[in-house]
Amino acid sequence: MSWSSPNKKLLICASLVLAIGYLSYAQDQRIADSLRPLYASTKLSEIDRLELLRDLSFNEMNDLDLAQAYADELIALANASKHPESAEYAYRGHRNKGYALRDQGRYYEALISFYNAQRAAMVAGYLDGEAMAKLCIADTAAFLGDETTSEVYYEKSIRAFQELTDDYWLGMALANAGDSHLDFKNFDRAIEYLTRAHDIFEEQDDPNALAYISGNIGVYHAAQGDVNKGERMLLKSIAVLKTYRDFAAISEFELALGRLYFDLEEIDKAKRFTRSGMNYAINQGLTRQIGEANSIWAKILDLDGRYSEASTHRTIADSIDNTFNKMRMESIRLYLDMSQQAMRSEQELALSDLKDKRQRAVMLATSITLFLIIVLAVVIYRRYVYVRQTSRIISDEKERSDSLLLNILPKDTAEELKSSGQVQAKKYNSVTVLFTDFLSFTEYADNLPPEELVKAVDHYFSHFDTIMEKYDLEKIKTVGDAYLCAGGLPDPSVDHARRMILAALDILDFVRRTKIENPDKICFEVRIGISTGPVVAGVVGTKKFAYDIWGDTVNCASRMETHSEPGKINISENTYDLIKDEFECEYRGLLDVKNKGKMKMYYVLPEGSAGKMKKKSSPGKSDRPKRPESINS
């Protein structure tokens, strides 16, 4: 039976909720409400204002945007302050900002804040804060499915809490690390860490933490084949957690039981626990659990023969999973960037230490006055370097944020969103839509390690993106192994169909060359479908924006791709009418299409990319095929 995958946290409670539950136990909205009147005061000293912003950014839970604003102000004030504990206040600002971003579902931005918190704690020499920042980085990376980053930082946090002799947070780090290894199917290490965490909290007599850990140990036993023991431990954990009203953890454990009973073919129980877990997830706004619940529910609906409903739920699950896949890739890139920065920082610190030693030798050989002047110069210089680095980080993150937005939305749409906070949907009367799909992708996904599969797909899609830029076409999105783009929007044009055909030919050429030049690597065959007509385009969502297109033209392009063959470009009649004078095409006949009836289809021949070619037969001509092939969708 399948119990977890690298793309899906099986039990989020032991990864984030467990940590969050105890990180936030001291948060109190009443404190924020009572302190808010002091915020407008102009009579506060610098240290009092730092303390006020620290408490406000930590305890504000009703308005997370406000909490983030408090944290940003705390960071700015700490960076400008000469107070000896200013770096520690900067750490708390970055950490509290990470909490607010994480609770808003903005996990990648939260990860950046936790990296900044770690850096500030190191500058402050605040070992407790540095250990906590490492645990937050590990938890967030694990939640995004980034195995490498999470494993590295869990080990760092465990060592840090051991050195601090902090058994409570050592238990937390062990429990979270155990869940992460469980999720990535490292079962031996998972049970080792979970058992150590269980021993710590059993000694501390903490039933809530024990319920989380016992539930994960139950998942371990079920994954190892001891289904009865796993079932008993999960049911017992859910009963304990209900007394604490920890609905997020209950949702995850109930979904785990839903998967278990589905695999055992006890469908009624699978329905009951999956439906209950889904309701908890929706009520708590738990995105990943919602995706997991929809995935299980789709399988249940398939058994009932309700295929249309199953498809809807599966689409929701795939969309959520695709979003987290993107964030996971960004997390991996961020880890590599931070590792390089850390290496440079260590080199700079080593050089700085050597410089300080030489300066002290010179100062000892001269006068006390000269010694004091040099010390003062060193302090000012270090402060200047710190402020400059912090300003650069802030500027880089703003540019990164703008860049990420432009990667998601067209430039004009992004500007409209930033200026007004919303985007009006628009109808385009003539747009050419292209779909691609990799042949036998499911077989590759089942047999290849996830890292190799993602690397191969990224290689192809990155080149597709380059081709889209070459012909001034708009990439819309990728869904699994499918690639969707459009021409003629957001800026209408008259030659979008021609440019789309040229792009499709370049894609085929790239795929062909890749297979020839890299015979020992993973190579895909691609099918392409194109159609032209009206679409509606706009931005969906309020938290995670996505630019998308809708309409019969999109559906038609998908059908063209489905009825295409590897290495072929299948186009609709509407597209053919626009490009027939420039490209050589082969009429395929009237083909049966699901929910569309019979449609005329054409293959664009590869040699047409060389320039304007003579047309081949088209419907209505004397050489039209008498018996067109019929393909049932």
Residue 121 lies in a domain: yes
Picking from 281, 316, 333, the residue at the C-terminal end of a domain is 333
Nearest-angstrom CA–CA distance, 606 and 567: 9
- Look up the CATH number of the domain holding residue 202: 1.25.40.10
Residue 389 lies in a domain: no
Domain that holds residue 435: 421-610
Q: Are residues 171 and 284 in the same domain?
A: yes
Predicted pLDDT of residue 159:
95
DSSP code of residue 62:
S
Interacting residues of 511 by C-beta distance below 8 A, sequence separation 6+: 460, 523, 524, 525, 526, 567
Predicted pLDDT of residue 632:
37
- Look up the CATH number of the domain holding residue 488: 3.30.70.1230
pLDDT tier at 102 (50, 70, 90 boundaries)? confident
The DSSP bridge pattern shows strands 426-438 and 482-487 to be antiparallel
Q: Are residues 457 and 569 in the same domain?
A: yes
Nearest-angstrom CA–CA distance, 286 and 609: 49
Residue 19 lies in a domain: yes
Tell me the pTM. Answer: 0.48
- C-alpha distances (whole Å) from 97 to each of 70, 114, 161, 226, 514 are 8, 8, 23, 42, 44
pLDDT in tens, 340-396: 665 565 466 556 556 655 676 666 767 787 888 888 888 888 888 877 887 777 666
Angle of helix 287-303 relative to helix 307-365, nearest 10 degrees?
Answer: 150
Nearest-angstrom CA–CA distance, 335 and 330: 9
Predicted pLDDT of residue 544:
67
Q: Are residues 306 and 427 in the same domain?
A: no
Predicted pLDDT of residue 24:
38
Q: Are residues 96 and 208 in the same domain?
A: yes
Nearest-angstrom CA–CA distance, 250 and 271: 16
pLDDT tier at 445 (50, 70, 90 boundaries)? confident
Picking from 267, 256, 352, the residue whose alpha carbon sits closest to that of residue 303 is: 267
Supply 47's token pair: 């240290």
DSSP code of residue 605:
P
Segment 329-337 mean pLDDT: 65
Please give the tally of structural domains in the chain: 2
Residue 98 lies in a domain: yes
Q: Are residues 448 and 305 in the same domain?
A: no
Picking from 333, 364, 387, the residue at the C-terminal end of a domain is 333
Specify the range with the lowest mean pLDDT, choosing from 103-107, 407-411, 563-567: 407-411
Segment 428-446 mean pLDDT: 89
Picking from 427, 401, 397, the residue whose alpha carbon sits closest to that of residue 414 is: 401
Q: Please write down the HEC assignment for all residues of 403-469.
A: HHHHHHCCHHHHHHHHHHCCCCCEEEEEEEEEEEEECCHHHHHHHCCHHHHHHHHHHHHHHHHHHHH
pLDDT over 70 (residue 403): no
Q: Are residues 447 and 306 in the same domain?
A: no
Residue 390 lies in a domain: no
Predicted pLDDT of residue 583:
95
pLDDT over 50 (residue 411): yes
Q: Are residues 309 and 450 in the same domain?
A: no
pLDDT over 90 (residue 600): yes
Q: Are residues 455 and 584 in the same domain?
A: yes
Predicted pLDDT of residue 19:
37
Segment 311-330 mean pLDDT: 78
The 3-state DSSP class for residue 218 equals: helix
Predicted pLDDT of residue 591:
92
* 630 or 139: which leads in pLDDT: 139
Predicted pLDDT of residue 222:
84
> Which of 319-328, 419-428, 587-596 has maximum average pLDDT?
587-596
Picking from 316, 333, 350, the residue at the C-terminal end of a domain is 333
Residue 373 lies in a domain: no
Q: Are residues 56 and 170 in the same domain?
A: yes
Predicted pLDDT of residue 414:
56
pLDDT over 60 (residue 18): no
Nearest-angstrom CA–CA distance, 72 and 87: 14
Q: Are residues 169 and 267 in the same domain?
A: yes
* 585 or 14: which leads in pLDDT: 585
Q: Are residues 311 and 443 in the same domain?
A: no
Predicted pLDDT of residue 152:
94
pLDDT in tens, 553-584: 999 999 999 999 999 999 999 999 999 999 99
Segment 89-105 mean pLDDT: 91
Picking from 493, 487, 513, the residue whose alpha carbon sits closest to that of residue 606 is: 513
85, 124 contact by CB (below 8 A): yes
- C-alpha distances (whole Å) from 471 to each of 71, 91, 96, 426 are 44, 46, 44, 22
Predicted pLDDT of residue 181:
92
Predicted pLDDT of residue 175:
93
Interacting residues of 280 by C-beta distance below 8 A, sequence separation 6+: 247, 248, 250, 251, 254, 286, 289
pLDDT over 80 (residue 279): yes
What is the 3-state composition of the chain as percent helix, strand, coil, each rounded to the nearest 5? 65, 10, 20
Residue 368 lies in a domain: no
Percentage with pLDDT > 70 across the chain: 80
Predicted pLDDT of residue 618:
42
556, 531 contact by CB (below 8 A): yes
Segment 449-462 mean pLDDT: 88
Predicted pLDDT of residue 62:
84
Q: Are residues 166 and 295 in the same domain?
A: yes
Residue 3 lies in a domain: no
Average model confidence (pLDDT) across the chain: 82
pLDDT over 60 (residue 630): no
Nearest-angstrom CA–CA distance, 23 and 172: 10
Picking from 343, 498, 510, the residue whose alpha carbon sits closest to that of residue 434 is: 498
pLDDT over 50 (residue 77): yes
145, 328 contact by CB (below 8 A): yes
